[in-house]
Amino acid sequence: MDLAEDESVDAPIGIFDSGFGGLTVARAAVDLMPNEDIVYLGDTDRAPYGEKTIAQVREYALQCLDRLVAHGVKALLIACNTASSAVLRDARERYEVPVIDVITPAARRAPLATRNGRIGVICTEATARSRSYDDALAAVPGITLTTQACPRFVDFVENGVTSGPELEQVAREYLAPIQEAGCDTLILGCTHYPLLAGLVSYVLGDGVTLISSSEECARASYSTLRREGILHTEAREPSRYFLTTGNAERFERLGRRLMEGFVHDVHSVGVAESPLGDHAVVRG
């Protein structure tokens, strides 16, 4: 392995989301790749993306991805279904590093899990409008897809609410079409939704298999880094660095609550600033 390859292996993984949901991808990635440095950027100042136009999402997402690439990441994880819908093709043409989305891996996994060919996907309104999951599953024979937008789920999670009677009532209303369609497999098509997996499973029952787009993205990332020869396999003390375009204190407080202490060292940044401002990633 030459020096350039060594430097590539040691570079961090960049993870981008519109807000907090992508933390589920970050945690899944850490579980699978414990030796990797990670730089996470949440665009909380402009979240949620789910109600914005595809053009707006594309503009915001590329600004954030540009910032991560400028920092020298070795791979990009678009940890947001809405952003993946809007910007994946552009991102793969724009950047030289591997770009992994959350839609494609989940769409590959779901047909392997279903027993009756009826698959549901719950997602944001923008992801539903994009029909990204329809396109991803179009070539799979014998699949019937039922898509349900669940916009209020993101609001609950972003406010730290993951249980309670009001949320359960909302969940029952959102999930009714999935039940009526007889789906035996459900894609959690927003990276916020794994934080509601217990509630969703409770409402739908044990007969419905949940597919986490976050976990599938992490698995795809592991496979990609290994295939590219840039997976850090040696034991080391990695760095975890969290950036937000919003309030850093709120991000860290809510991130710790939702992710059980996983989030730390949060800094507030502007996407037009130089990479990481005055804060350097310290490697272990």
Q: Which residues are catalytic?
A: 80, 190
Q: Does an H or E element contain 7, and which?
A: helix 3-10
Q: What is the CA radius of gyration of the chain?
A: 18
**Structural contact between residues 192 and 155, judged by C-beta atoms closer than 8 angstroms:** no
Cα torsion through 15, 255, 109, 232, rounded to 10 = 50
Omega before residue 48 within 30° of 0, cis: yes
- CA-wise closest residue to 243 among 265, 258, 274, 273: 265
Q: Is 163 strand, coil or helix?
A: coil
Rounded to the nearest angstrom, the gap between the alpha carbon of residue 107 and the centroid of all alpha carbons in its chain is 14
DSSP state of 276: T
The Cα 272–Cα 220 span in angstroms is 30
What is the number of other CB atoms lying within 10 angstroms of the CB of residue 182?
A: 13
Residue 160, SS3 per DSSP: coil
SS3 211: strand
Query: From start to end of the chain, where are the E strands?
Result: 13-17, 38-42, 75-78, 99-100, 118-123, 144-149, 185-188, 209-212, 240-244, 266-268
